[in-house]
Amino acid sequence: MIALREVSFAYPGGAFRLSVPALDVAAGERVAVVGPSGSGKTTLLNLVAGILVPASGSVRVGEAEVSALGDAARRAFRIQKIGFVFQDFGLIDYLSARDNVLHPYRITDALTLDADTRARAEALAEKAGIADKLARRPKALSQGEKQRVAICRALLTRPSLVLADEATGNLDPDTKGAILDLLFERAAAEKATVLAVTHDHELLPRFDRVIDFRDFRQKAA
Ligand code: ADP
Ligand code: MG
């Protein structure tokens, strides 16, 4: 599902360098990514999602060589195939929780917002325990509720790959478990692959495999 080969990346003007000789994740696998703060975990997810493009090397997701696509094609691919739960949620302040969940359907012609999609959004929100919060704007939601909205948005498109960046950070232990349950249950139902950055070591046994980011330690410039 994911294959990185000889990937290198640097932010313009920055000293940070990420190099990943090889990284493979099989379809349906649930993989956790751990590593110190600033080691490049978010950068890796952004490279897999095609939000960032490597300076050299290749990033494949499913059939697509993401790193070789143009901007528009990468964006379309990401919206359709990838569900991304961002570290800071990435919710849109002026939209209700419901409209945040539906948002992927409003930003590409490739997805059609029909009655079935709306019904699935309500069902997903119900499972996530936020059905009664959908009319609220993000600022009227708790951290855990925002997290759930972000997860519902990421899952509604039935992505074949779910990328989650600290999706259980800032939550109490019970909520963490419930959020991961939701993510895994929905991912399994859609046979999706999960690549999740986490600091929660107690959650690691629930993944099929753990990638330790110190293995891709950035090289000095
Ligand atoms: P992690 O998610 O493991 O904490 P990140 O991938 O966010 O790490 O960041 C890796 C390094 O890249 C850090 O040194 C960070 O400061 C730097 N960095 C992240 N985003 C940018 C950016 N947009 N521009 C320049 N440097 C960045
Ligand atoms: Mg990060």
DSSP state of 133: G
Ligand 2 centre from 197 Cα, in Å?
8
- Sorted by sequence, the CB contacts under 8 Å of residue 158 that are 6+ apart come out as 190, 192
Ligand nearest to the CA of residue 37, numbered in listed order:
1
pLDDT at 220: 42
Ligand 2 centre from 35 Cα, in Å?
10
- Per the document, the length of the chain is 221
The pLDDT tens digits of the residues spanning 22-45 come to 999 999 999 999 999 999 999 999
Q: Describe the strand order of the beta sheet including 209-212 as a list of residue ranges.
A: 82-85, 161-165, 193-197, 30-34, 209-212
- 221, pLDDT greater than 50: no
The pLDDT tens digits of the residues spanning 128-186 come to 899 999 999 999 999 889 999 999 999 999 999 999 998 877 677 887 888 888 889 98
- Enumerate residues lining ligand 1, CB below 6 A: 11, 14, 16, 35, 37-43
Mean confidence (pLDDT) of the chain: 92
Q: What are phi and psi of 9, to 5 degrees?
A: -150, 140
pLDDT at 23: 95
Q: State the amino acid at position 72 in one-letter form.
A: A
Ligand 1 centre from 64 Cα, in Å?
26
Q: What are phi and psi of 208, to 5 degrees?
A: -70, -30
75's enclosing H/E stretch is helix 71-81
Ligand 2 centre from 132 Cα, in Å?
30
Report the chain's terminal Cα–Cα distance, integer Å.
Answer: 31
Task: Tell me which of 175 and 205 has the higher pLDDT.
Answer: 205
Looking from the CA of residue 40, the nearest atom of ligand 1 is 6
Ligand nearest to the CA of residue 86, numbered in listed order:
2
Partners of 162 in the β-ladder: 83, 194
Query: How many angstroms separate the Cα of 64 from the Cα of each of 2, 81, 183?
Result: 10, 10, 24
pLDDT at 217: 61
Q: Judge contact between 34 and 211, C-beta under 8 A.
A: yes
Question: What three-state secondary structure class fits 26?
Answer: coil
Alpha-carbon distance of 194 to 108, in angstroms, equals 23
The pLDDT tens digits of the residues spanning 47-64 come to 999 999 999 999 999 999
